[in-house]
Amino acid sequence: MAGQVKTRLMPQLNAEQAAEIHMTLTHRILKLLSDAELCPIQLWCSPDSKHPFFRGCTDKYPLTLHKQLGSDLGERMFHAISDALQTSSNVLLIGCDCPTLTIHDFDSAIHALNGNYDAVIAPAEDGGYVMIGLNQSHSDLFLNMTWGNEHVLNSTLKRAEELSLNVYKTGLQWDVDSFDDLQHFYQM
C-alpha cells in the first residue's frame, strides 16, 4: 500500500506516512458507516483484498472486500457500482478521504435515491466529488473521463444532464488530497 495511496502528500510525507493517513481516513469513514447501520458496506481494494489492512477491516467492521477492476479511476468506479447494483436497488460510492461527510449526508443521499432522484453527488471544493450514488449503472458518467482535475464535477453533471438524470447534490465537501488538506484535517 505504501507508495500507492495518497501520493500527492509526498514529498512532505514519506510513502509509509501517506499510507498511514489513508488508513486513518479509511477507518474513520468505515466506522461512521458501520455505526450508522444504513446499508451493507463493501470495501473495494487495490491492488487486491489480501493486504493485512483490508483483512483487518473485516475484523472491525461489517463489510465485504472486493478487488477493484479497471485500468483507471472511472473504470474502477463503474465496475464497483455495476457490481453492487446487482444485489442492491441503489448504491453510494464514497471516497475514503473525505472527513467532512456525515451520517446525515449518507442518510439524505439514500432517501434521495429511494425518492425521485436518479443520482446523488457530493461536490468537493476542488472541483471533483467525494460521493456518487446511482439507481442504475451509467457508463457515460465514468468512462473516457479525465480524472484528477477541477472539471470532474462539472463534466459529470453535464453527462448526467445528457442522460436526463435527476441529480441530488449534497452540501459542498472537501477531501484530503494535498498537504494543506491534511493540515486542515488535523485542525478538525
CA 158, CA 164: separation in Å to the nearest integer? 10
- Identify whether the C-beta of residue 141 lies closer than 8 Å to the C-beta of residue 81: no
pLDDT per residue as tens, the chain (188 positions): 777 888 888 889 888 999 999 999 999 999 999 999 999 999 999 988 999 999 999 999 999 999 999 999 999 999 999 999 999 999 999 999 999 999 999 999 999 999 999 999 999 999 999 999 999 999 999 999 999 899 999 999 999 999 999 999 999 999 999 889 999 998 98
What pTM was computed for the model?
0.94
What pLDDT, on a 0 to 100 scale, did the predictor assign at position 104? Answer: 95
- For the record, the C-alpha cell of 84 comes out as 453492487
Could you state, in order of their start, the residue ranges of all structural domains in the chain? 7-186
Residue for cell digits 505504501? 2
What pLDDT, on a 0 to 100 scale, did the predictor assign at position 7? Answer: 86
CA dihedral 120, 124, 83, 32 (to 10 degrees): -90
What pLDDT, on a 0 to 100 scale, did the predictor assign at position 11? Answer: 85
CATH of domain 7-186: 3.90.550.10
